Structure 1
Amino acid sequence: MGEIYPLGGAGDRLGLVDEVTGQCLPVAMLPYCGRTLLEGLIRDLQAREFLYFKTFGKQEIMPVAIMTSAAKKNHELVSSLCESKGWFGRGKSNFFLFEQPLIPAVAAEDGHWLISEPLVPILKPGGHGVIWKLAFDRGVFDWFYKKGRKAAIVRQISNPIAATDVTLLALTGVGHHHNKKFGFASCERKVGAAEGVNVLVERKGKHGWDYSVTCIEYTEFNKLGIPDVPVSPGSMQAQYPANTNVLYVDLPSVERIASCRSSRSLPGMILNLKKPIVYEDYHGVTHRTYAGRVECTMQNVADLMINTFSSQLKPSQHGCLDTFVVYNKRRKVTSSAKKQRKRTDFLLHQTPDGSFLDVIRNAHELLSSCHIEMPNMESVECYLEHGPPFIAILHPAIGPLWNIVQQKITGGQLTRGSELQLEISELFWKDVQLEGSLLVLAENVVGSLQDTENEEKILFYGKGCGKCRLERVTIQNKGVDWNSKQNVYWQHKVSRLESLTIILHGHSEFEAQDVHLQGSVTFEVPDGFRMRVTQGDDGIKCDLHPLPSGSQTFGSWQWRYTLQDGGYVQLDMQTTVEN
């Protein structure tokens, strides 16, 4: 498998600017939950690779193709970010960046070209459907093949939650196991939402009955006579599920379409006139208007993946098609951050605020399933006025499957207003009571960087991970300053009055058992050491010792993963002889 990220969108509706330079920024650079959206996608990918390593004992680095554009220096900024992060420990050769062309915009009101000065049109990215033709022209398909990849997952940059729990693994599994050509991850959709839908198309053709699962954009509903009605009277759920642009792609099948010298290589061509554009003309006058451009949509390549049968299929036979769809709960599939929320607006759809609320809702469901007593979720109005009832940001490598998280984290309580940040994968949590802020920050979350022959630092999974064990621990501190006007919760930009912070340098371990930790405390464990905190006669007792000999690679303990029938992953703790 490989991954494909279309990042070329301008993201005008986000109004994102650099706080220092004032430069307009593309969507990929949006600071979300403490990191850019692009870093979040790579983090999700590393979590699945770490899961593969722990389950099968093999190092795997999936190649990533990224479509950028010239809009708002998108290509330059994405390239610079990858360089500054050392290509995320994946090696530069495992990335392929290719640039999306820009096309002129036309005014929705009168059809005139928008211009910034005479003969200089306003240019915008022309939709992500060009990705397949562009990938063929730039050699992206051949690049994937040389790396032994025949299929890929496609994720859009504006959807940070698509990797939640089983979503991407299920999409990949169905596509690969059943030799499918194209697949969609779908979910419920609200009536009237500005989202496309996934449908099964059945047509009587010249040679029989044609079938395919595809997408219809919301802008085309009226044209095609598709009613946007509820699934049942009084319901807000639409009768057709949402297209989320979380896709499974069989690369040779898509390449055959992309290589043809016709309009077939640019699927789903539409003229979308519903997007607002702000621009300055040659008189220095700022204009705000609805405008559009000819776009094509990457998901509509499925229109050309048709199966023909001599007779109509029964519903039970639809699973034999080359195209498919998998379903999950909406907040495990999509919650996009596409537009800035107005301060007086309570509508959260497609805003970073709304997306982060879904992150919190997912955390509430997950941690509750770990038998942790959680504060109640509150109304949207309360969230916007006072912030979320708690903050919980867990590194996806703790799972990413929730059944794995449920074995690493069991019991305890988070009180209202608490903050939990777990930047770690090797974690054992049992009956922890948290009132305030707890930050566990491992330098080596899923492995360690090691030099290679070509002088690149590559992340080797499972080696030298930071580890943390918390058993029957009570943590009390003042935590987040919920009254601070500087807090931006969806950025995880918060002011703290106090916190318990555990910093794990390199290959180090922290253990705490049967202790009550109060106030603002920082435990910092140097590389190669294990710190053990217990309750002494005169207060907290803290012991620091080198890691046991012979455990320099995996430490004094580690989780062993075993894949069982039905896809369940069983965890068992392995300890060294000297532990």
Structure 2
Amino acid sequence: MRMQFLKEKEIENFLKKNKGLSKILKKLSLEEKKIIFSLIKIGQGERIFKKVNINDSFVLIKKMLTDLLKVDLFYKDIGGIVGYYKKALDIKNIKKKEDIKIFNPPLINIFENSKIKKYIAKGIESLPFFCKIYPMGGVGDRLNHIDEKTKKPLPVASFNFLGKTLLQHLMEELKANENLFFKIYNKKINIPVIIMTSEDKNNHSNIISILEDNKWFQKGKDNFFIFKQFLSPVIDENGNWVLEDKLKLLLKPSGHGVIWKLMKDNKVFDWLYKKKVQKGIVRQINNPIAGFDYSLLAFMGYGVLEDKKFGVASCSRKMQSQEGVNVLKKEGKKYFLSNIEYTDFERCNIPIKGKKFLKFPSNTNILFVDLKEIERVVDKSPFPGMVLNMKNKAFEGNKKIKAGRLELMMQNISEGIYSEDKKKLNTFLTYNKREKTISCIKRKYDEKKYLETPLSCFYDFQKNYFDLLKNYSKIKISKIKKFEDFIKKDLCFFCYLSPSIGPLFEDIAKKIRRGEIRYGSEMQIEIAEIEIKNIYLDGSMLILKGDQPGVKRALLKNVKIINKGIDKSKKNSYITNKIHRKESFKIVLKGNSCFEAKDVTFVNDYNIIVEDGIFLKAYEKDKKVFFEKKFLF
């Protein structure tokens, strides 16, 4: 569809016919009037302002204008909402396949690299100069993540995974990195956190509630910078703006790529520079696995050591996944790293069927950014990777038709960082095992589409724990099954370890080493200061922490734990960590407390609570278990 602008005389005639709108215009500001005129100019006046009267339409129009003013301001460099509409139609009308030169990007393989320890060390050393950037604008429609009272979708950030919200997982991982730095350098750091929320379905207020309920994760409210992603109007395949109701436009999130310009507009860069922060790591909330082991630390370290301006932590891409790919593009004499979204594969001549893995590496949206460089690029190219996302639906009479909105792609900011020599790029890609890089939680489980579901992510968590316990801790343990068998039969084991224990697998293996975990057993450890040597576990073992702050320690040496463990006759939700047990060995450590057991066999059910200020020692005499209590201070 071609866009036709109404002439000034036609706009005047429209307003003469619509007396109700003319009266409302008199009560509006100049900026608000401009939005009204723009909508009429692009031919949407009749559709949007039909049957407007001053009595019941003023409040509705004011609300609509509040939303559209944000869109108009953001896109002012291309003509505000008129430019937004024109750009959307321009993209929609592109029919031919894109004739672009793309190459496999150069990769740094970090899981087979002799310098890996050097990268990890540099990553840890550089932590004080990093911030974490988390886009969290998404809601859990596809996950069926619904508020039971309101029946409205909740933010993906609040999704319960292994008994914690996804936001808690990210923050615990961040705290683990801060603790690791403290152990090595004896210096406390507080890494700043940038969060982009959205106005979609109360996303912003829900995320603020999670932060407040968790007391800002002991980081202090002033160490968070939170701003909102605006919502963009949806346009149907015929070029019409979609209405949900009278004077209520259908609005959807504007894409993660708006984050860079919004950071500039909200003075986030200035805020970070005052904190001496130079670099950032971008993570998406729905990928909790990326922080396992060395992946992020090595990624950060490489970027700093090689003085790079932008990087992507990549891996192989499975054909069935809804992930874009990283490519090296050539445009004229310029080479630059770019992302091609999966919706554009056909247009860019990228195969979408066939092999299990695609030849181009996956775009994980795990990014390394040099803040000064990103700010420079934003000034020149504020709208990276414009795409028209046509995944929404609208109705034309009784007929359902496609609809979508203009989105910006976060990773495509890299297109502004280029070189004429492809061997001297200021950008980079690391390449790691997929199970240590990406396992997203996007939609509820479907037998035909198990990828990107909570169940597939849970499976990848267990695969990582199996790798840790068997290959690093040298514990005898049943081999983990293939996914198809894993979902049909009993778990061979269930494990959750707090990131605070490591996060590096080599460090965790110094704390948990040797022994045997029997088939169907469960191990959950929430405390950082743990030492387990030569354990025999047949059943459930839980070492948990109470709510009070403080240092909790536990030592288990040559210990046997034998109990009936998980009750598999009951309906257990391993994904949410809601588990029925017949028996378990459970320790809860409160405040500053310590538990120790050497050469002890614990049979049947134990529920041990160690109060604040207490050192509790378990010992065995004549095949009976006794406890000795002492004060720590």
Do the two structures share a fold, i.e. TM-score over 0.5?
yes
Distance of 1:379 and 1:92 partners within structure 2: 43
Asked whether the 8 Å contact 1:504–1:527 carries over to 2, the reply is yes
Distance in 1, Cα, partners of 2:529 & 2:401: 51
- Kept in 2: contact 1:276–1:288 (CA 8 A): no
User: 1:137 deviation in Å?
Assistant: 0.5
Query: Is 2:382 the counterpart of 1:265?
Result: yes
Deviation at 1:288, TM superposition (A): 8.5
Q: Is it true that 1:376 corresponds to 2:479 in the alignment?
A: yes
CA–CA distance in 2 between the matches of 1:76 and 1:105?
Answer: 23
CA drift at 1:366: 0.8
Q: What is residue 169 of structure 1 aligned with on the other side?
A: 297
Residue 357 of structure 2 is matched in structure 1 by 237
Q: Which residue of 1 aligns with 2:216?
A: 87
Cross-structure match for 1:364: 466
Matches within 5 A, 1:7-406: 7-107=136-236, 112-205=240-333, 210-228=334-352, 235-260=355-380, 264-273=381-390, 275=391, 291-309=403-421, 313=422, 318=423, 320-342=424-446, 345-369=447-471, 370-406=473-509
1:499 aligns with 2:587: no
**Do the aligned residues in 2 keep the contact of 1:471 with 1:513 (CA within 8 Å)?**
yes
CA distance in 1, matches of 2:486, 2:147: 26
2:608 counterpart letter in structure 1: F
- Asked whether 1:539 is paired with 2:539, we answer no
Residue 439 of structure 2 aligns to a residue in which SS? coil
Per-residue CA distance 1:328-364 (angstroms, 9 max, x = gap): 100101000011113xx15321111111110011111
* C-alpha distance in 1 between matches for 2:400 and 2:502: 45
- How far did 1:257 drift? 2.1
**One-letter identity of the residue aligned with 2:551:** C
2:319 and 2:353 in contact (8 A); partners too: yes
Letter in 1 for 2:501: I
Instruction: Determine the C-alpha separation between the residues in 2 that align with 1:96 and 1:288.
Output: 41
Q: Distance in 1 between matches of 2:302 and 2:221?
A: 30
8 Å contact kept, 2:561–2:585: yes
CA contact (8 A) 2:475 2:517 kept: yes
Measure how far apart 1:435 and its partner are.
Answer: 1.2
SS in 1 for 2:273: helix
Q: What pairs with 1:429-508 in structure 2 (closer than 5 Å)?
A: 429-443=532-546, 464-485=550-571, 487-508=572-593
Cα-to-partner distance string for 1:243-292 (whole Å, 9 max, x where unaligned): 100000111111112234xxx2010000122x356x9x9x9x9x997642
**Deviation per residue, 1:156-176 (Å, 9 max, x gap):** 011011101111101111112
- In structure 1, distance between residues paired with 2:400 and 2:193: 36
Displacement of 1:228: 4.5
- Higher-Rg member (1/2): 2
SS in 2 for 1:12: coil
Structure with the higher strand share, 1 or 2:
1
CA contact (8 A) 1:360 1:388 kept: no
1:509 aligns with 594
Equivalent AA in structure 1 for residue 362 of structure 2: A
- The offset of 1:402, in angstroms, is 0.7
Give the residue type in structure 1 aligned to 2:439.
Answer: S
Once the two structures are superposed, residues 149-204 of structure 1 have per-residue CA deviations (whole angstroms, 9 ceiling, x without a partner) of: 01110000110111011111011111122221110000011235321111222444
Q: TM-score, normalised by structure 2?
A: 0.76
Q: Are the counterparts in 2 of residues 386 and 482 from structure 1 also a CA contact under 8 Å?
A: no
- Measure the CA separation in 2 of the matches of 1:101 and 1:203: 31
Paired with 1:332 and 1:86, the residues of 2 have a C-alpha distance of 30
In structure 1, the residue matched to 2:133 is 4
2: CA distance, partners of 1:347 / 1:228? 16
Q: Which amino acid aligns with 1:216?
A: I
Whichever residue aligns with residue 609 of structure 2, its letter is: E
Change (3 A) 1:478 1:223: same
The runs of 5 or more residues in structure 2 that have no matched partner are 1-129
Runs of 4+ in 1 over 6 A off after TM superposition: none
1:484 CA displacement: 1.6
Kindly tell me: are residues 288 and 35 of structure 1, through their superposed partners in 2, closer, same or farther at Cα, counting changes over 3 Å? farther
- Assess, with a 3 A threshold, how the Cα gap between structure 1 residues 191 and 529 changes in structure 2: closer, same or farther: same
Aligned CA distance change for structure 1 residues 424 and 346 (closer, same or farther; 3 Å): farther
Q: Identity across aligned pairs (percent)?
A: 41
- Which amino acid counterpart does residue 480 of structure 1 have in structure 2? I
Give SS of 1:349's match: coil
The verdict on how the C-alpha distance between 1:348 and 1:145 changes in structure 2, with shifts beyond 3 A counting, is: same
Q: 1:17 deviation in Å?
A: 0.8
Aligned-partner SS, 2:176: helix
Shift in Å, 1:465: 1.4
Distance 1:99 1:83 in 2: 17
Task: After superposition, give the CA deviation of every residue in 1:346-399 in whole Å (9 maximum; x if it has no partner).
Answer: 532111111111001111111112111112222333332345322100001111
1:526 Cα deviation from its structure 2 partner:
1.2
Deviations 1:383-439 (A, max 9, x none): 323453221000011110111011111111222221111001111111111111111
Deviations 1:77-132 (A, max 9, x none): 11111111111000000001100000122346x55443221331221111100000
8 Å CA contact retained: 1:229, 1:239 = no
Matched residue SS, 2:289: coil
Q: 1:349 to 1:291 in 2, by over 3 A?
A: farther
Instruction: Answer yes or no: is the 8 Å Cα contact 1:389–1:417 preserved in 2.
Output: yes
- In structure 2, the residue matched to 1:567 is none
Letter paired with 1:245: N
- Contact 2:140–2:153 (8 Å) recurs in 1: no
1:303 maps to amino acid: E
Return the alpha-carbon distance in structure 2 between the equivalents of residues 107 and 203 of structure 1.
Answer: 32
Q: Contact between 2:260 and 2:378, CA under 8 Å: does it hold in 1?
A: yes
SS at match of 1:511: strand
Does the C-alpha gap of structure 1 residues 537 and 21 become closer, same or farther in structure 2, counting only changes over 3 Å?
farther
Partner of 1:569: none
Which has the higher mean CA deviation after the structures are superposed, 49-58 or 112-121? 112-121
What is the rounded CA distance, in whole Å, between the counterparts of 1:520 and 1:133 in structure 2? 57
Please tell me the root mean square deviation across aligned C-alpha atoms, in Å. Answer: 2.2
CA distance in 2, matches of 1:166, 1:229: 32
Query: Aligned with 2:364: secondary structure?
Result: strand
Q: What secondary structure does 1:366 align onto?
A: helix
The answer to whether the 8 Å contact 1:69/1:75 transfers is yes
SS at match of 1:259: helix
